[in-house]
Amino acid sequence: MSRRRSAIIACIISASSLAALAQEYKSPPKTRTDNVTETIHGVTVTDPYRWLEDQNSAETRAWITAQNEHTQSIIGALPGRGRIRERLTQLLKVDAVTAPFERGGRYFYTKRRADQNQPVYYLRRGLSGKEEVLLDPNTMSPDQTTSIRLLDVTPDGKRLAYGVQQGGEDEITVSILDVETGKELPDHLPRGRLGVSLKPDMSGFFYSRFTNSVGPRVYYHAIGTNTAGDQEIFGKGFGPQNFITESVTDDGRYLQLSVSLSRDKTDIYVQDLANKGPIAPIVKDIDAAFSGQIAGDQLFLSTNWQAPNRRILAVDLKHPARELWREVTPETTSVIDGFSLAGGKIFVSYLENVRSRVKVFDPSGKHVRDIAFPTLGRASGLSGNWERDDAFYTFSSFAQPPTIYHYHVSSGKQEVWARNNVPVKADEIGVKQVWFQSKDSTRIPMFLVHRKGIKLDGKRPALLTGYGGFNISLMPGFSATAAYWAEVGGVYAVANLRGGGELGEKWHKAGMLENKQKVFDDFIGAAEWLIENGYTNPSKLAISGSSNGGLLAGAAMTQRPELFRAVLCLYPLLDMVRYQNFLVARFWVPEYGSSEDPNQFPYIYKYSPYHNVKKGVKYPAVLFVTGDSDTRVAPLHARKMAALVQASTGSDRPVLLHYDTKSGHAGGAPVSKQIEDETGELSFLFWQLGVK
């Protein structure tokens, strides 16, 4: 390392040192082009980096290595990293616990000590019983990138199914644990996209397996037999665009099978296991989304059928004809975000202006009470048993760390069961909601997080994020990034864009298919509002997004490059002309459309970020993040886009790719790696926005 470079690394953040650093590391590695040309519905489309789609070729692997070395030479040398890492360590390396759930008087939950990388599964025999370690993934791999998902527990709490996940893959291997002895049964399922539901008597279990080429299938496995002989019981005729989930009721009577035909259409089948009945459709051929839970002989359904904001229906499984369905809670002006069953009651979670509110009903639909929350925030994970009185849920806000409440269903009383003590001065951080007008004058909500009483001088470093797709809602839950951003004097903004579920199914449909451009318009409108209202300016504004949000960031960057200083684009979709050809992407065609359809190709091609990069345009600084273990969104999107923007940008701002061979979409990264990754990402953003 040269003395000049060492001096740069050692100095504090300043405009001169950052400019020198940018100049020294100006040129990324060169990437060859192959310029594959094809005609799609009469339009000639050239793909200069088609060769980078081959993830396992020697040339692609060498290119990834060169890109990572280039990125590390810049990100790793940025001054201030030590202070960033130190604060992130304080925020993330804390004792963290999740809400417990009860089975047979036993309580199961996870807890991660501050000195651990992965959460450990625990058991208590009785709520105040002694903690017993069940499963500790920290011992499963030297680098602690192996994590565990608890899939199901028998009603008596004596057996459980769990999945072992490597890196950030969606795929898992499945094992069955005897809770009494601590030993595994010989019954295992090999690696795949799997779901499992145990029969209460543990004579066997049902499981779903999804493969990219075939789609979903459901099987039955009898305990003690070879899995090679497992019988396929359901799924024939469904393809890669569908998903199936399975669940057995606690009394073992019913098997419920939910088939996602798309995000907007669900069929539900039920089998009476006790009477060895056939698998029969309960919800079928209705163009609407349904989610169901069974209690006794009643199937409760949350649906947007004839109710864009959703309602709750009840189906008597002994008399399931559609004309006999009963409305439990009607549609209201607030959106139903989900529901749970506990203590003989129905807990319905509503979004009121993107804020959580939970109302409790009896099975007839009579309103019992509301659950009160201390501030604007998000309530999540309410769980309980239909036959028992206690339930648990978690509440948090942007600057208020998660608190777990023990709720008594019969009385409505509640007390704190656990609190994650993150060192955040919540009383110094303000959270508020604003509304702004998008390009077509639609009013869009947005949350702002910043220190109380900051001066609106237009010079604040701002980080704007969003999602806008798949009916997913971005809620005001705790974010270490938001809290840290506020601490350094910045503004953290979350825009609730069309395409999401924050304001109901109409809101979702207003941002899907041919309406997708409206999502990008909303996001750009959020950025313009922040500037016009004195929060920031284009030289101080960064955007970030992951997955569908990565598409959002890529589209905003290519459509309005002058509006942003820096872009953090994580696990993104970017080549929208070819996305449907890879991994599980066929499932997303109802949301985006497909270039294979001559009517959908024009609007997709018009916004596809990869096809709208123009030579010589001065693009913002960009950090693309992806990795081999992303088995949901193909990493080729980030590879191809990084190469294209590097070759095309007319600015001297860096275009970088952080490609981690063990990172993926499904989480599971050890805390130490989360800290290291976020240190790099925040170092990049602080560098570009001049945060000292």
The catalytic site residues sit at 547, 665
Alpha carbon 364 to its chain's center: 34
Task: Provide the token pair at 88.
Answer: 């992130």
Task: Report yes or no: 272 and 308 within 8 Å, Cβ to Cβ.
Answer: no
Task: Provide the token pair at 27.
Answer: 């040129």
Q: Which residue has the tokens 């996870």?
A: 110
Q: Which residue has the tokens 């960009």?
A: 622
Task: Provide the token pair at 142.
Answer: 């030297």
Torsion of the alpha carbons at 451, 456, 462 and 465, rounded to the nearest 10 = 80
Q: Which residues of 508-540 are buried (b: 16+ CB within 10 A; e: fewer)?
A: bebbbeeebebbbbbbbbbbbbbbeeebbbeeb
Task: Provide the token pair at 644.
Answer: 């294209």
> Which residues lie below 8 Å from residue 332, measured CB to CB, with a gap of 6+?
309, 350
Task: Report yes or no: 80 and 686 within 8 Å, Cβ to Cβ.
Answer: yes
Kindly report the three-state secondary structure assignment for every residue of 351-402.
Answer: ECCCCEEEEEECCCCCEEEEECCCCCCEEEEEEECCCCCEEEEEEEECCEEE
Question: Cα separations (Å) of 391 from 34, 111, 342, 403, 459?
Answer: 59, 18, 7, 14, 46
**Which residues on neighbouring strands pair with residue 153, listed in sequence order?**
160
Kindly report the three-state secondary structure assignment for every residue of 574-613.
Answer: CCCCCHHHCCCHHHHHHHHCCCCCCCCHHHHHHHCHHHHC
Q: Which of 123, 152, 151 is nearest to 135 (CA)?
A: 123
Backbone angles phi, psi at 183, to 5 degrees: -105, 150
Q: Which of 506, 556, 495, 481 is nearest to 530 (CA)?
A: 495
